[in-house]
Structure 1
Amino acid sequence: MKRICASLLLTAVVLTACSATGVSIPVLEGSLAGERLPGKIIWHELITDTPEQTQRFYTELFGWEFEPLSDKNINYFLIRQNGKAIGGMINQNRLPTKADISQWVALFSVTDIAAATDQVASSGGTVFTPPTSLGDRGKIAVVADPQGALFALLQTANGDPADTTEPASVADFFWHELWTGDIDRAVTFYGKLAPYQMERRSLGTGNESIDYVVMHTQQQKRGGIRANPFKGLPPIWVNYLQIPDDAELDRILAKVESLGGEILVPAASRPSGGTVAMIAGPSGAGIALQTWTNEEQLAKFGEQ
């Protein structure tokens, strides 16, 4: 447990490191003018100790582009898919730590980051870093829920990326799922943090049935909560990329190991349709791949 806590704290330091140098991270693209969507996951950060291999891995698999900020002294890359900025990458090697903290971190929108961090603390969570300025992007705080799942809060300076009725593009983020050891406690915690409407479902049949909670805000599905499916795995927020079909998923999985990655969970069907697999890049940061083929299926996501 002490090792996990130390790793989380180091991750928090990494995510707020830019602020210490007065660096301004660019605003999020597609932002609404001054409007925030609390509870929506609006950004993703990848921390890696193998930046060159990681860039090649994701570029070869998905066609992602990695764009360094214009100031070469800044330890930050924008990640683009088909020209759209979908996340950022931080080179862990340029930071004062030798611990392996490579991972993907989801950033949740909040309207008042000071109040949100107070809520985290009062609800039994952990605030690893207080609200910290990222310049033009806004303010960030790195926190964990009572079970230890790490995530970040972001109060944007100029508004959040707008919701869209268009399906996610291939290899873009389109779902987020909390794997936890206590569903009820997680529902209570996140329900106080943001204006979520929690929809409980029983998914699958017979011995394969699982309890699932879909998190809604602004009439949109934002994420899911389920029991942790793997014994010994710490609670975690899992980020999903959209893959169009099984053939493309097979093509991707066939290349993972040759590019220095690992297949953590082989492809398997979900009760409501679609196929899911989980992979890790060269640094060990895990990410899920989910097949969906059209807008109708995307509208139903969260029912698996």
Structure 2
Amino acid sequence: MGSPFKTPGTLSWHELTSNNCKDSMGFYGEIFGWTFKKMNMPQGPYYIIENQGISIGGIAPNPCSKMPSHWTGYITVADVDEVAIKAKTLGGDLLYGPEDIPNIGRFCWIQDPAGAIIAAITYKNRDE
């Protein structure tokens, strides 16, 4: 298999939406040896998770503190807009997006008919 950032259907990114990013980074850093790089985004800070120098995911502040902290997997797709339309056609809900992430790609969050949430993403040129 090729790069997870280029292979449709591949789980390519893991994102934690946390009610306490500092505590989450301390916990996962101790357990897995992950390190974190802070990025300033329009919505606030975003922390890239690195494992042995490779970016594998991110941690972001939870925009709704009433929701528990949660992990979301990002699946690489060829066309995120097409996936969003297809998800709705198949009885799912579009929770967020599609929206562009500057210099990264385009993504959306979808909820399947049973209530599970996952994200779809089309990356711009990624070399990893």
TM-score range, shorter chain: 0.7 to 0.9
Structure 1 unaligned segments of length 5 or more: list them.
1-83, 85-165, 300-304
Structure with higher RCO (Cα < 8 A, 6+ apart): 2
The structure with the larger Rg is 1
Please say if residues 49 and 56 of structure 2, whose CA atoms lie closer than 8 Å, have aligned partners that are also in contact.
yes
Secondary structure at 1:291 match in 2 = strand
Aligned pair 1:177/2:15, yes or no?
yes
Secondary structure at 2:118 match in 1 = strand
- Hey, what's the Cα distance between the residues in 2 that align with 1:199 and 1:281? 32
Q: What are the residue-to-residue correspondences of 1:45-60 with 2, within 5 Å?
A: none
- Hey, what's the Cα distance between the residues in 2 that align with 1:209 and 1:285? 24
Partner of 1:278: 109
Question: Deviation of residue 195 (structure 1)?
Answer: 1.1
Please say if residues 167 and 294 of structure 1, whose CA atoms lie closer than 8 Å, have aligned partners that are also in contact.
no
Q: Which amino acid aligns with 2:31?
A: L
Change (3 A) 1:210 1:265: same
Question: Deviation of residue 200 (structure 1)?
Answer: 1.9
Aligned pair 1:242/2:76, yes or no?
yes
- Hey, what's the Cα distance between the residues in 2 that align with 1:224 and 1:288? 13
TM-score under structure 2 length normalisation = 0.86
Change (3 A) 1:266 1:231: farther
Percent identity, aligned pairs only?
26
Aligned length: 126
Among 29, 34, 39, the residue aligned to 1:201: 39
- Hey, what's the Cα distance between the residues in 1 that align with 2:24 and 2:82? 36
Q: What are the residue-to-residue correspondences of 1:223-234 with 2, within 5 Å?
A: 223-234=57-68
Partner of 2:89: 258
Looking at secondary structure, tell me which structure has more strand per residue. 2
Partner of 1:30: none
Secondary structure at 1:295 match in 2 = coil
Question: Deviation of residue 232 (structure 1)?
Answer: 2.9
Question: Deviation of residue 219 (structure 1)?
Answer: 2.5
Partner of 1:167: 3
Question: Deviation of residue 294 (structure 1)?
Answer: 3.0
Secondary structure at 2:81 match in 1 = helix
Secondary structure at 2:120 match in 1 = strand
Partner of 1:218: 52
Secondary structure at 2:33 match in 1 = coil
Runs of 4+ in 1 over 2 A off after TM superposition: 229-233, 293-296
Q: What are the residue-to-residue correspondences of 1:33-44 with 2, within 5 Å?
A: none
Looking at secondary structure, tell me which structure has more helix per residue. 1
Q: CA RMSD in A?
A: 1.9
TM-score under structure 1 length normalisation = 0.39
